[in-house]
Structure 1
Amino acid sequence: MSRDALKTLFHPFASGTVEAPSEGERILFLGAEAGFALPEGFAAELSAVQGFRPFYRQLQAQRINVTPDIEGEGYDGALVLCAKHKGENEDHIAEALVRVREGGLILVAGGKEDGIQPLRKRIEGFGLSVEHMPKYHGVAFWFARPAEIKALTAQLAKPATEVEGRFTTAPGMFSHDRIDAGSELLASRLPTDFAGDAADFGAGWGYLSVELATKSPRIERIDLYEAHYGALEAARANLLANCPKVAQRFFWHDLASEPVKDKYDLIIMNPPFHEGHAAEPSLGQAMIKTAASALRSGGRLMLVANRGLPYEPVLSENFKEFGETCRNARYKVLWAKK
């Protein structure tokens, strides 16, 4: 998401094309990101929603009122900042329709990479009176919340996804419609005799945690750390459904910048490595360093990564021993001992 999309979002107010909401009004901001300045005359109370922990913390630092999940209803209007996942964008518009009062403004913005033009045409296809304006390499469009929304939300809201009949996920989560092939490779190498305290770093919707708890039934406890709030809540439900007797804890956490207080005997991870469309290994490297500090002496790290990612040097710097367990055409499974 570029900062341009934020500027695009607020431009209709800044240019005077759309009347800025006044004092006493409440505006919901879905997909909120930090780095914006409210246009002159924008005096409404802004309630931001951001479930991605790093962005949430940036909004807090900007002193924006922000929650990880949507709260309340009867808003006077809503802003929707689009991201790259079509299903998530449509779901946010559906939420705005439900949470905003009849006649309230719903304003949506994004860049070409967010699919903003097809999204605008889709909303226009519902017969709504939609206005739009291009700016800063993106498009903003807006409409009034209609009186009848049931048919609209039925088409826009995205139901939960079932994966292999065992896991519940939702659009916007990593690999929400299938088990990730890298995670599957790591799962095939998880221990069957582990009996200590484990953590799953970047746990997503909980696949690897369920696999570890299933393969090693004598596990003492597993803690899941995840930056995506919705994915963590899905993981909570998936662990409860698949291995309810295992002691488990859940942490909404930015592993690249927030320290981990507990110590573990085993940490498993499939670290994210993309920033936009480019491979960016620094996040995985930061997570490996965090794992090293969170392991007890003799503790082990197991991770899966794309074959080309250079994680071996950071493993060498932070662990007594490390090596490669296996690889296939796309992925490698690495281990390290503290």
Structure 2
Amino acid sequence: MSRESLKTLLHPFASGTIDPPREGERVLFLGAEAGFVLPEGFSASLSAVQGFRPLYRQLLSQRIEVWPEIEGEDYDAALVLCTKHKGENEANIAAALSRLKAGGLIVVAGGKEDGIQPLRKHLEGFGFDIRHMPKYHGVAFWFMRPVDVSEAVSKFAKSPVRVDGRFHASAGMFSHDRIDDGSELLASRLPTNFTGDAADFGAGWGYLSVELAQKSPNLDRLDLYEANHAALEAAKANLAENCPNAPARFFWHDLAAEPVKDRYDLIVMNPPFHEGHAAEPSLGQAMIKTAASALRGGGRLMLVANRGLPYEPVLAANFKESGETCRNARFKVLWAKK
């Protein structure tokens, strides 16, 4: 999300088109990101919500009051910053409608790539009186919360999806409606009867951790690291359902920026590689370096990646040994030894 969309979101206030919330009022900011400056006269208290750990930490550094999940209700207004995930945007709209007082102001903004226009038209279909304006290569629209929002909330609220009859995941999480093909390939190569301390880097909603715990039920420890707070909460539930006796711990963590204190004998991961709509391997490369520092001597890293991603050089530079276990038409499973 660029800062352009942040400026788009606040432009209706900055331009004087709508009055800013005043002192004593409470504003809920969903999908909040750092880097914004509140317009003159915007003196209400702001409660930001951001479940992605790197963005959460940026908001903290800006001294913004922020939570990973929504706290409280009866807000006077809401700001919704859209993302590229349609389901996440709709869920945030449903949350804003549910948490605001009747008559409260809701302002939504995003770019074309965020589906802002279809979202506005969808809301207009519920009879909401929506005003909008383009600015900074995006669109902001706003409306007052009606008394009865039950139809819109029921349409936009997202229930967890049941995956493979064993897992629950939700919109906005990686591969929320199916087992990822790359993760499935890596799972087929996980060790059986592993004993020792293991970690799942970028654990998502817990698929690889469940597979490892089931293949190696006598492992000593299994630590899950994940930057998406909602996905980590789903992983807790999925481990509890599928492997209730697994010695699991859960860390809401930015593996590219926050050090890992514990040391492991095995780390598994399917690192993310997208920044926006383009392939960007730097995050995976950073996670590989973090894994190298978190492994004990002789410890092993197992990861899956798209075939075209250049992870081999960083593996060779940070491990004593490394190589490829297998590949198919789309993915490769790589290994490295500390």
Would you call these one fold, judging by a TM-score over 0.5?
Answer: yes
Distance of 1:229 and 1:156 partners within structure 2: 21
Q: What is the correspondence of 1:70-149 to structure 2 with a 5 Å cutoff? A: 70-149=70-149
Structure 1 residue 68: Cα displacement: 0.3
The equivalences for 1:46-85 within 5 A come to: 46-85=46-85
Deviation at 1:271, TM superposition (A): 0.3
Letter in 2 for 1:185: L
Question: What's 1:228 paired with?
Answer: 228
Alignment partner, residue 297 of structure 2:
297
Partner of 1:186: 186
Please show how residues 320-331 of structure 1 align to structure 2 within 5 Å: 320-331=320-331
| Structure 1: tracts of 5 or more residues without a match | none
Aligned to 2:167: 167
Cα deviation digits, residues 97-120 of structure 1 (max 9, x gap):
111101000110000000000000
Alpha-carbon shift at residue 333 of structure 1 (Å): 0.3
Letter in 1 for 2:262: D
Matched with 2:42 is: 42
| TM-score where L is the length of structure 2 | 0.99
Q: Secondary structure at the match of 1:102?
A: strand
Partner letter of residue 300 of structure 2? R
- Whole-Å Cα distance in 1 between the matches of residues 276 and 98 of structure 2? 31
Deviation, 1:300, is 0.4
Q: TM-score, normalised by structure 1?
A: 0.99
Aligned-partner Cα distance in 1 for 2:152–2:283: 39
* CA-CA distance at 1:221 after TM superposition: 1.3
Using the TM superposition, give the Cα deviation of residue 302 of structure 1 relative to its aligned residue in structure 2, in angstroms.
0.2
Q: What are the ranges of 5 or more consecutive residues in structure 2 without an aligned counterpart? A: none
| SS of alignment partner, residue 301 of structure 2 | strand
Q: Which residue of 1 aligns with 2:243?
A: 243
- Deviation (angstroms), 1:248: 0.4
Offset of 1:151 from its aligned partner?
1.6
* 1:65 CA drift (Å): 0.5
State the match for 2:263 in structure 1: 263
What SS class does the counterpart of residue 146 from structure 2 fall into? coil
Partner of 1:198: 198
Q: Spell out the pairing of 1:213-224 with structure 2 (5 A cutoff).
A: 213-224=213-224
> How far off its partner does 1:10 sit?
0.1
Q: What secondary structure does 1:192 align onto?
A: coil
3-state SS in 1 of match to 2:217: coil
Paired letter, 1:45: S
Aligned to 2:155: 155
Distance (whole Å) between structure 1 residues aligned to residue 50 and residue 166 of structure 2: 27
* Residues 49-91 of structure 1, C-alpha deviations (whole Å, 9 max, x = no match): 0000000000001111000000000100000000011111010
C-alpha deviation, 1:219, in angstroms: 1.1
| Secondary structure of 2:18 counterpart | coil
What is the identity, as a one-letter code, of the residue corresponding to 1:102? Answer: A
Asked whether 1:10 is paired with 2:10, we answer yes
The CA deviation string for residues 13-61 of structure 1, in whole angstroms up to 9 with x for no partner, is 0000010000111000000000100001100000000000000000001
Q: What is the alpha-carbon distance in structure 2 between the residues aligned to residue 152 and residue 279 of structure 1? A: 35
Mapped to 2, the partners of 1:263 and 1:19 lie a distance apart of: 53
Structure 2 counterpart of 1:329, one-letter code: A
2:278 equivalent in structure 1: 278
Say what the alpha-carbon RMSD is for the aligned residues.
Answer: 0.6
Q: Give the deviation of 1:164 after TM superposition.
A: 0.7
Number of residue pairs the alignment of both structures matches: 338
